[in-house]
Amino acid sequence: MKILNDLNQEQLKAVEYNSGPHMIVAGAGSGKTRVLTYKIAYLIDQGMEPDSILALTFTNKAAKEMKDRIRSLVGKKAGSLWMGTFHSIFAKILRVEAKAINYHSNFSIYDREDSISLVSNVLQSLNINLENLTPNGVQHKISYLKNQMIKPENFGKHMATTLADKKFLEVYIEYNKRLFENNAMDFDDLLLKPIELFNDNPKILSKYKKQFKYILVDEYQDTNKAQYELLKLLSPVKDKICVVGDDAQSIYSWRGAEIKNMLNFKKDFKGAKIFRLEQNYRSTKLILAAADSIIKNNTEQITKTLWTENNDGEELTLIRASDEKDEAFQIAKRIKKEISTRKISLNDIALFYRLNSQSRALEDALRREKIPYKIVGGVEFYRRKEVKDVIAYLRVLTNQNDEESLLRIMNFPQRGIGNTSISKMIAFARKLNLSLFATMSRVFEVIEVKERIQKNVKQFKLLLDKYIDLKDKLSIGELTSALVAELGILKIYKEENSPESMSRYDNIQELLSAVQQHSKENPDSTLEEFVAEVSLISGVDQYNERENSVTLMTVHSAKGLEFPLIFITGLEEDIFPLNPRFDSDSKLEEERRLFYVALTRAKQKVFLTYARSRYRFGEVAYQSKSRFLDELDEDTFEELHGAGRKSGRRKRDLVDEFYQESYDDYDQERRSLRVGSRVVHQVFGVGKILQIVGNGELQRVTIAFEESGTKQLLSKFANLKLL
């Protein structure tokens, strides 16, 4: 293939190898996606049928981009590739084989919010009210156990030792029971149920082993135990399996990812060959040197050395701020300067943070400086309340057993069916072993429910029946538009006419546009297929790199992306790395890998910021600089103090004239000094006022400075700036 001329020598070897299991260790920016794309195209060009290739990715966005690229290389036949995320591919298989595990093919897929809602309902029905068993916490624990393939019976036998554990076990059992009754699966079930399916049905397993003659896996370092088991089960004859990943970018242990899947690949697949992609095409030499100086401190890794033919580039700039507002102020000012001097666009710039809570101060500063921005991984479009409300209607139309969705819409828009009446209907349903949907037809038998409310329930049931009947007669776009119009949702939001209601109005309109677009692009698609697709969309899938605004995101969300210029913020102990005092060495190594991921997103320039104090947990906390900054190679960065003072191991003079506008002017009008206030002195730095004596020109203040000790100063001449 002529296209292979675009590959370097090591990439070419990896693409052409076809003699058994092999792992491509692809360093950051080394062309991993290109190699995987070309390898699939090469296999097809060599005569392999596209529908016999299973290619597994970790985002729908990556799958779509790769499939489009493969189609451009080999033509329309790429359309029959089995390519997608683990969850989307195995959801597809489960819908075909649902009967074998006693499910219906129209099962609902519950996202995290749906699962939390179900847990909350289970806790309430079991009358469990323990402080350490919150819906969020229970859902997280259930998800973790499922990722580890620990079923309720295993947990009960080996792990349930305390009263709280035993109560949790009750919830875990009932939660799974309710999922089954609702004909629903949570995200973790989309991996567990196929394992159950294949283990209990050898003929079905044999069918798919014959189907998939070649398996390719992207981001292998992020696979969890269930994904690993699925790969072992489906592994083709002669181990025609290729995995691609970078152990230095394994950052998802908190959701079950196991780096050992990559580290042990040669043990798990005998005779496996390893290819190392070490040439970086993304970053400058100095950025790579900085990243290497960080990651070499980890002991659990596959040895590799990234190199590049790119230029040296600029040193990283380390900025010390007094607090989070000062940090945000400096970043906003720096963005304006960089746009002006580098002639770059807003969408060339990204701000990374370890915790979502850090975005507030950054957003405030960007708004004040009138810098457009977007948040990736915030409240995703399909997770917004009003959008989920409409989607819940569509889910009930496709799956009448979906009790969680039915509960969500029972009184939306308001139709006078209160929680008390709903609880009585649920009790009736449980007593007679009916679904809630079926109970709505027999609501007049629920004598505890008032007659007026019984009529409202009956009217609601008739509405649902009408659209259940229409769903196979109208296009998805027509059906959804008619339903929304009859519900009067848009009218309600428009009449309310508040900023929030108009935002909800716009989001519903956007959803209708999305449905119409899907209907146009997929004229044969069913409502079930659309609802299933929406259930599997993530926040990163909706990221639009062409939108001209600064991007804000957590470092986890940034993985797989790249930007000419980045800011890594909040580089302080207990933030980045997060809670190092309480974590194991392996957790600290993962935090270090996360910092490595952040650094290697940058093409040209990196800014690192940290604050001496930060408002956390309701009070001001003095912060210590992140240990990762001490691990940086001294020759890769320079340091700038927020007040315009320059320092750092690099002695080159820094000119920062734009800091002449003071943070004090930006932050607030001058306030009066008081005991407990935090202040900055031009010479002594940051401190806290311990005592104030006298008034006017004779007023004296006693201040405990962080670096200069306790000083007594005349307020008149101290020129203190309040933080």
Residues acting as catalytic residues: 32-33, 218-219, 249, 601
Closest to 650 measured CA to CA, from 660, 666, 639, 661: 639
**What are the tokens at 519?**
């209907």
Measured in whole angstroms, the distance separating CA 672 from the mean position of its chain's CA atoms is 43
479 neighbors 525 (Cβ within 8 angstroms):
no
The pair of three-digit structure tokens given for residue 184, joined into one six-digit string:
């629903």
371-393 in b/e burial notation, b at 16+ Cβ within 10 A?
Answer: bebbbbbeebebbbebbbbbbbb
Smallest Cα–Cα separation from 601: which of 340, 330, 275, 251?
A: 251
Q: Report d(CA 156, CA 171) in Å as an integer.
A: 12
SS3 299: coil
What 3-state DSSP class applies to 59? Answer: coil
Give, in degrees to the nearest 5, the angle at Cα 536 between 534 and 542.
Answer: 75
The tokens describing 230, both together, are 């699925």
Four-point Cα dihedral 261, 263, 269, 275, nearest 10: 120
d(CA 147, CA 195): 12
What is the C-alpha to C-alpha distance for residues 611 and 622, in angstroms, rounded to an integer? 9
Look at residue 570 and give its three-state secondary structure: coil
Report the distance separating Cα 162 and Cα 164, nearest Å: 5
Written as six digits, the tokens of 568 are 């890594």
Cα separation, 453 vs 455, whole angstroms: 5
